Structure 1
Amino acid sequence: MLTLSHIIESLSGMPFAGGQQVITDVVIDSRLAIPGSLFVAIPGERTDGHLYVEAAFAKGAVAALIQKDVPNFYTLDLRKPITFEMASGFKIPVCLRVADTVSALQAAAKFWRSRLNVRVVGVTGSVGKTTTKEIVAAVLSSRYRTLKSKGNFNNEIGLPISLLQATEAHERAVLEMGFYQLGEIALLCDIAKPQVGVVNNVYAVHLQRAGSIENIAQGKGELVVSLPPDGVAVLNKDESLVMDMSRLAKCRIITYGLDPQADVWASDVIGLGLDGIRFQLHYAKARETLHIRFPMLGRHSVHTALRAVAVGLVEGLTWQEIIGGLQGMEAQSQLRLYAVTGPGRSLIVDDSYNASPESMIAALNLLDDMDARRRVAVLGDMLELGEYEEQGHRMVGKRAADVVDKLITIGKRAEIIAEEAQLCGLSAKQIIRMSDRESAQTYLRENLSEGD
């Protein structure tokens, strides 16, 4: 179990006899502190975590990482060697003074990772990271004790926090790795040391920050570069920018997709609306064809299933274990895509967590698969598309014209969706342009009915 002495040793470079308290959680929000937790005080643009050290201690935190002095609490300064006098005066709760709390958090996670005998699966991609992480973890859990990232904890703060949840009992860890700038995934890999790397796709998500689609591909490719010679890269055969990463690999590659040349591939994919999808699964090394029913919504989710199958095969699972994981209760969680009853007994499918042209089109494909009296799409602005902004919105508008009976757009950028949909065949009466969400909510409450 992770103890306070492990944290101190990781930051001081010296074994520490005190601090045998087990760390029950690592938090950056004092409101989430529990007895035994470690609070990491991070200065931010809106507030400063150092202001909440006392609140974290009041809720039972045993220690706080700080980079500024916090008065009235015992402090162990880890910027200098620990002396006998410092060790003998040790008491709880303790402030651990470091030069930079984020760097210290990362160092602690890297140290703890080095002490664990756990195989790490890293997951990256422009869309679908969290869903893939959840399903891969569900499949691996069929045999192994498996840790997975908390929520979408996928950055330089979230991944170390997730990794510090691991115990000596964990056999596998599935960690999500996000990309915002070059070098970020390389840093996460240096901390987590993944043996398996899964790359979903490369799309124009966060393009404004990344600068170019080539930078996004390079950033995602850092996961492949980091894999050891005895590791495995799991790559999407249907995405050319992902397959270009194969030249970066110094390890074995297994591919997945709808392309029959992939190692793991699917055919005859049929959307079943709210009942998920079914498809035929093929594996290059096996002669039999498996008929799979997968409970996640949308035909696009076949790629999620294939990633999990590929990782399961890499990790030595049987077909029975893999299929059981795909169809288990965890796999049935729709994560950020879910259906609820709406006004007038209509059905609302909510996929509003994040938006990219590809994810919006996937949601429209799901809408197309569903039996409905009338199909209504409510689409808003897609942000951070950079030079791809107009093209991305027009792609969505073109697909919407093929699917919907009524299109509601919200926001200035989304007007491009409406414009393209009308050019592609929707009438002016079928399109409603809104400037804000409140207006759209009012319209939906007044106009939706059973069968919509």
Structure 2
Amino acid sequence: MLTLAHFFQVLMPEYAATGDEPVVSAVVMDSREVGPGCLFVAYKGEQVDGHDFVADAFARGAIAALVARPLPGDHATIDFRAGQPLPYPLPFSVTTPVCLVVSDPIAILQASARAWRARFAVQVIGITGSVGKTSTKELTHAVLAQQFNTFKSPGNRNSVLGLPMALFGLEPQHQKAVLEMAMYVPGEIATLCEMTQPEIGVVTLVGAVHLERAGSMEAIVAAKRELVEALPAHGVAILNRDDDRVMGMAGYTAARIFTYGLDERADLWADRIESRGLAGIRFVLHHGRDHLHIQAPLIGRHSVHTALRATAVGLALNMSWDSIVRGLQHTAVELRVVSAPGPKQSLIIDDSYNANPESTLAALNLLEDLPGRKVAVLGDMLELGYLEEPSHRLIGRRVADVCQVLIAVGPRARWIAEEAVNAGLSPDHVALATDAVTAVPVIEARIQPQDVILIKGSYGMRMDRIVTALGRYD
């Protein structure tokens, strides 16, 4: 059970727990998520300072806060910074919240998460890559849960800020933990691996996501490679045989290599792929002398790779085929692509969470498999660096092959529109919008009954606002 004693011992190793320390129900960084018993981490970001919300967190029931400076208010304070005398006994109670003053709240959060993970003999599966991390995490969890008590990192808690908070959900009964690992800058996946100690690492594929910050594709590859570099000799690196950049990571790990893909040379491969639109996919899976006909409720041909990754993890853990197939058929997998009713009996394909060239092409492939007139509402793909214009133009050419109508949202999306017209899409069927809000009436004016509308763009474009606005017709 997580209590304040755990944090006291990280800050002061000689601390002897009394048994009276309050239970910590969760560790959070957003005061709006605080509930009774939470520990609030005051993070000072570029635009928002969490210290401004400590009082609000206490009002919502937080029992403690990690802060970088003493704060006024009706709470106890323990200053753990170097050179500060510590009171004895430490002033804490179940009725009065306490500020734990430290030199670096995030460093203490990460150290506390590392120490908490180290308490358990759980086997960690780390998942990284430019696309497909969340769907792979969800499906892998569904597969492993057929045979093991399995933990998964919730939602998008995959960063050096989010994953530490997620780790406090680990409990003694967990046998496996499936953790999504993302990077904002190089070095962060190495930090997450040092914190979580993965034994199995899955790499989806490497694309131009974060290219603007990383500076080059080579830098992105090196950053994603940090996962396989961290694996122990008894571990397994599960690599995408269809991505040369991912396969190049094989020489950087002491772990055993296991490959997956559509290439027959992979250890685990698939063929005879049939997309059944929103009804799912069918394919034949091959591993050694085993050949299985699979039907799964996964959307889009690209989901075959998701299924292969989850299967590969199951095989690495010596799971039975019956358990693996049961997991692949699990209908409660939380995938980001969902469908919803839209205006005039249209169908909205909501893939609005994020976008990059690879995931957008996959979404267009799904759209192609669906009946009805195809409408693509595509926002800017951000952080593509020097590949920004050619990547958007690539999408434009595919739009011309698949769609009858295009609404391009944002300044970069104009390249999608220009290239779609160049490739043969009628200019009369192309419209531009400056942002998600102004796009809504443009879309409404062009929708016809039974249209299928794909909505996708980078997170910063807030394409979800379009989904919400059009969803009011439900």
In the superposition, the TM-score normalised over structure 2's length comes to: 0.91
Q: For 1:279 and 1:168, how far apart are their aligned partners in 2?
A: 38
Q: For 2:285 and 2:370, how far apart are their aligned partners in 1?
A: 23
- SS in structure 2 of the partner of residue 115 of structure 1: coil
Q: For 1:411 and 1:45, how far apart are their aligned partners in 2?
A: 24
Q: Report the Cα offset of residue 255 of structure 1.
A: 0.7
Q: Report the Cα offset of residue 322 of structure 1.
A: 0.9
Change beyond 3 A, Cα 1:324–1:369: same
Change beyond 3 A, Cα 1:71–1:439: closer
The answer (yes or no) to whether the contact 2:433–2:442 under 8 Å persists in 1 is no
Q: Which string of whole-angstrom CA distances, capped at 9 and with x for unpartnered residues, describes residues 346-370 of structure 1? A: 1111111111111111111001011
Q: For 2:219 and 2:86, how far apart are their aligned partners in 1?
A: 50
Counterpart of 2:166 in structure 1 is 162
Counterpart of 1:371 in structure 2 is 371
Counterpart of 2:322 in structure 1 is 320
Counterpart of 1:144 in structure 2 is 148
Matched ranges for 1:30-429 at <5 A: 30-72=31-73, 73-80=75-82, 85-87=87-89, 89-92=91-94, 93-284=97-288, 287-331=289-333, 333-334=334-335, 336-372=336-372, 374-429=373-428
Paired residue type of 2:64: A
- SS in structure 1 of the partner of residue 332 of structure 2: helix
Counterpart of 2:459 in structure 1 is none
Moved over 6 A (4+): 81-84
Q: Report the Cα offset of residue 88 of structure 1.
A: 5.5
The answer (yes or no) to whether the contact 2:183–2:189 under 8 Å persists in 1 is yes
Paired residue type of 2:300: G
Q: Report the Cα offset of residue 392 of structure 1.
A: 0.4
Q: Which string of whole-angstrom CA distances, capped at 9 and with x for unpartnered residues, describes residues 164-219 of structure 1? A: 11111111111111112111111111111111111001100111011111100000
The answer (yes or no) to whether the contact 2:78–2:90 under 8 Å persists in 1 is no
Q: Which has the larger displacement, 211-220 or 275-284? A: 275-284
Q: For 2:318 and 2:222, how far apart are their aligned partners in 1?
A: 30
Q: Which string of whole-angstrom CA distances, capped at 9 and with x for unpartnered residues, describes residues 25-59 of structure 1? A: 11111221122211111122223212222222222
Counterpart of 1:24 in structure 2 is 25
The answer (yes or no) to whether the contact 1:119–1:194 under 8 Å persists in 2 is yes
Q: For 2:402 and 2:32, how far apart are their aligned partners in 1?
A: 45
Q: Report the Cα offset of residue 376 of structure 1.
A: 1.2
Q: For 1:136 and 1:59, how far apart are their aligned partners in 2?
A: 35
Paired residue type of 1:440: A
Change beyond 3 A, Cα 1:57–1:343: same
Counterpart of 2:464 in structure 1 is none
Paired residue type of 2:211: L
Q: For 2:434 and 2:61, how far apart are their aligned partners in 1?
A: 46
Q: Which has the larger displacement, 312-321 or 241-250? A: 312-321
Q: Report the Cα offset of residue 11 of structure 1.
A: 2.1
The answer (yes or no) to whether the contact 1:343–1:444 under 8 Å persists in 2 is no
Counterpart of 1:12 in structure 2 is 12
In the superposition, the TM-score normalised over structure 1's length comes to: 0.95
Give the alignment's Cα RMSD to 1 decimal.
Answer: 1.7
Q: Which string of whole-angstrom CA distances, capped at 9 and with x for unpartnered residues, describes residues 95-128 of structure 1? A: 2121100000000001111111101111100011
The aligned length equals 447
- SS in structure 2 of the partner of residue 289 of structure 1: strand
Q: Which string of whole-angstrom CA distances, capped at 9 and with x for unpartnered residues, describes residues 230-260 of structure 1? A: 1111110000000000000101111111011
Change beyond 3 A, Cα 1:160–1:41: same
Q: For 2:81 and 2:446, how far apart are their aligned partners in 1?
A: 64
The answer (yes or no) to whether the contact 1:269–1:280 under 8 Å persists in 2 is yes
Q: Report the Cα offset of residue 389 of structure 1.
A: 0.8
Change beyond 3 A, Cα 1:447–1:419: closer
The answer (yes or no) to whether the contact 2:239–2:246 under 8 Å persists in 1 is yes
Q: For 1:380 and 1:48, how far apart are their aligned partners in 2?
A: 30
Which blocks of at least 5 consecutive residues in structure 2 are unaligned? 452-474
Q: Report the Cα offset of residue 387 of structure 1.
A: 0.5
Q: Which has the larger displacement, 161-170 or 402-411? A: 402-411
Q: Report the Cα offset of residue 84 of structure 1.
A: 8.6
- SS in structure 2 of the partner of residue 235 of structure 1: strand
Q: Report the Cα offset of residue 61 of structure 1.
A: 1.6
Which blocks of at least 5 consecutive residues in structure 1 are unaligned? none
The answer (yes or no) to whether the contact 1:74–1:91 under 8 Å persists in 2 is no
Paired residue type of 1:289: H
Change beyond 3 A, Cα 1:430–1:85: closer
Q: For 1:385 and 1:325, how far apart are their aligned partners in 2?
A: 35
The answer (yes or no) to whether the contact 2:22–2:93 under 8 Å persists in 1 is no
The answer (yes or no) to whether the contact 1:12–1:81 under 8 Å persists in 2 is no
Q: For 2:164 and 2:382, how far apart are their aligned partners in 1?
A: 28
Q: For 2:164 and 2:345, how far apart are their aligned partners in 1?
A: 44
Identity over the aligned pairs, expressed in percent? Answer: 50
Q: For 1:428 and 1:48, how far apart are their aligned partners in 2?
A: 47
Q: For 1:341 and 1:84, how far apart are their aligned partners in 2?
A: 60
Q: For 1:422 and 1:31, how far apart are their aligned partners in 2?
A: 45
Change beyond 3 A, Cα 1:231–1:428: same
